[in-house]
Amino acid sequence: MNKSIESTLKLLEECIIEDGGIVDLDWCDGFLFPFYKHFNDENNKISAQSVLAFLGLLSEWEDQSGFPFFTGTGKYDCHHFDKYMKEFMRLKDTIEERLPNLFKVIIVTLQKLDGRDSFKKVFHHLPVDFINSIIDFIYSYRFKICNPNDPIYQSAIREAFIDLNR
């Protein structure tokens, strides 16, 4: 992997602006990068956009345009849900404080995905205790976002230092 986080996030920002705020991108090719390693970067923009990339991965799964996570089968490169979730849960307080709208949207998306597809079934290769800890974590929150046109999505993108109005 010869890409830097800075160049990858610059391209990510350009694509999101070009697509009018859509974060469902080419995650297993052009954006195959371990964003979770930068959730707590000292540079706030890198940190925020790395968390936004996680939302993008989840969005691709949610809208069923693709599935960017490794499921224990297949021999192609993709993202590792367990690594993203470990970092997201470990840094939950920091992420929620610095990126409250992005945090809420990710939690609600995770709840929708588990309700629709069941993490236990999708990630059967991961330890059940770990999956249970994810489920307990996401359902400990009661955020209400019913509509994909909710302004919270635009606020989440702004928290990641992306100006859709430029």
Residue 43 DSSP symbol:
S
pLDDT given for residue 35 in this prediction: 97
pLDDT value of residue 75 = 65
pLDDT at 1: 43
Domain ranges of the chain: 5-159
Closest to 142 (Cα-Cα) out of 108, 114, 118, 119: 108
Residue 146 pLDDT: 63
Q: What span, in angstroms and rounded, lies between the C-alpha atoms of 157 and 163?
A: 8
Alpha carbon of 142 to those of 93, 104, 108, 139: distances in Å? 16, 9, 8, 7
Burial (CB count <10 Å: 0-12, 13-18, 19+), residue 71: middle
Indicate whether this model's pTM tops 0.85. Answer: yes
Mean pLDDT by 10 residues, the chain (166 residues): 85 94 86 96 98 96 91 80 98 98 96 96 96 98 79 94 88
Q: Which value, to the nearest 10 degrees, does the dihedral of the CA atoms of residues 157, 160, 161, 162 take? A: -30
pLDDT of residue 2: 58
Q: Which residues pair with 79 in a beta bridge?
A: 69
